[in-house]
Amino acid sequence: MKSIQVGLLGIGTVGGGVFNVLQRNQEEILRRAGRGIEITMVADLDTARAQAVVGSSVQVVADARAVIANPEIDIVVELIGGYGIARQLVMEAIEAGKHVVTANKALLAVHGTEIFAAAHRKGVMVAFEAAVAGGIPIIKSLREGLTANRIEWIAGIINGTTNFILSEMRDKGLDFEVVLKEAQRLGYAEADPTFDIEGVDAAHKAALMSAIAFGIPVQFDKAYVEGITQLAAQDIKYAEKLGYRIKLLGITKKTAKGIELRVHPCLVPVKRLIANVEGAMNAVMVHGDAVGTTMYYGKGAGSEPTASAVIADLVDITRLHTSDPLHRVPHLAFQPDAMSDTPVLAMGDVVTSYYLRLKVADQAGVLAKVTGILAEAGISIDAMLQREADEVGGEGSTQTDLIILTHDCVEAKMNAALAQMQALPTVLAPITRIRKEELA
* Residues classed as catalytic: 205
**One of 203, 245, 298, 350 touching a second copy (CB under 8 A):** 298
Q: Does 146 bind a second copy (CB under 8 A)?
A: yes
Q: Does 29 bind a second copy (CB under 8 A)?
A: yes
Say how far apart CA 44 and CA 80 lie, in whole Å: 9
- The residues pairing with 252 across neighbouring beta strands, listed in sequence order, are 154, 261
Say how far apart CA 375 and CA 385 lie, in whole Å: 17
Say how far apart CA 214 and CA 332 lie, in whole Å: 9
- Which is closer to a second copy, CB of 190 or CB of 289? 289
Say how far apart CA 50 and CA 39 lie, in whole Å: 13
Q: Does 412 bind a second copy (CB under 8 A)?
A: no
Name residues contacting a second copy, limited to 203-222 (CB under 8 A).
215
**One of 48, 56, 148, 185 touching a second copy (CB under 8 A):** 148
Q: Does 179 bind a second copy (CB under 8 A)?
A: no
Query: Cα(first)–Cα(last) distance of the chain, in Å?
Result: 50
Q: Are 79 and 9 in contact (CB under 8 A)?
A: yes
Q: Does 15 bind a second copy (CB under 8 A)?
A: no
Q: How far is the CB of 134 from a second copy (least distance, A)?
A: 8
Say how far apart CA 124 and CA 19 lie, in whole Å: 23
Q: How far is the CB of 284 from a second copy (least distance, A)?
A: 10
No. of helices (H) and no. of strands (E), the chain: 16, 17
Q: How far is the CB of 340 from a second copy (least distance, A)?
A: 8
Say how far apart CA 26 and CA 18 lie, in whole Å: 11
**One of 46, 63, 114, 144 touching a second copy (CB under 8 A):** 144
Q: Does 2 bind a second copy (CB under 8 A)?
A: no
**One of 3, 113, 184, 294 touching a second copy (CB under 8 A):** 294
Stretch that binds a second copy, among 80-88, 108-116, 190-198, 306-314 (CB under 8 A): 306-314
**One of 204, 330, 401, 432 touching a second copy (CB under 8 A):** 330
**One of 149, 184, 420, 426 touching a second copy (CB under 8 A):** 149
Stretch that binds a second copy, among 73-81, 189-197, 284-292, 389-397 (CB under 8 A): 284-292
| Torsional sign, CA 103, 104, 106, 111 | negative
- Which is closer to a second copy, CB of 23 or CB of 415? 23
Q: Does 13 bind a second copy (CB under 8 A)?
A: no
> Helix 105-122 to helix 200-214 angle, to the nearest 10 degrees?
30
Secondary structure of 1-41 in the HEC alphabet?
A: CCCEEEEEECCCHHHHHHHHHHHHCHHHHHHHHCCCEEEEE
Say how far apart CA 332 and CA 347 lie, in whole Å: 24
Q: Does 255 bind a second copy (CB under 8 A)?
A: no
Separation of CA 386 from chain center = 35
Q: Does 145 bind a second copy (CB under 8 A)?
A: yes
Q: Does 341 bind a second copy (CB under 8 A)?
A: no
**One of 304, 362, 411, 437 touching a second copy (CB under 8 A):** 304
Pairing status of strand 281-288 against strand 351-361:
unpaired
Contacts with a second copy by CB under 8 A lie at 17, 21-22, 24-25, 28-34, 129, 135-137, 140-141, 143-150, 215, 273, 276-277, 288-299, 302, 304-305, 307-312, 315-316, 318-324, 326-330, 333-335, 338
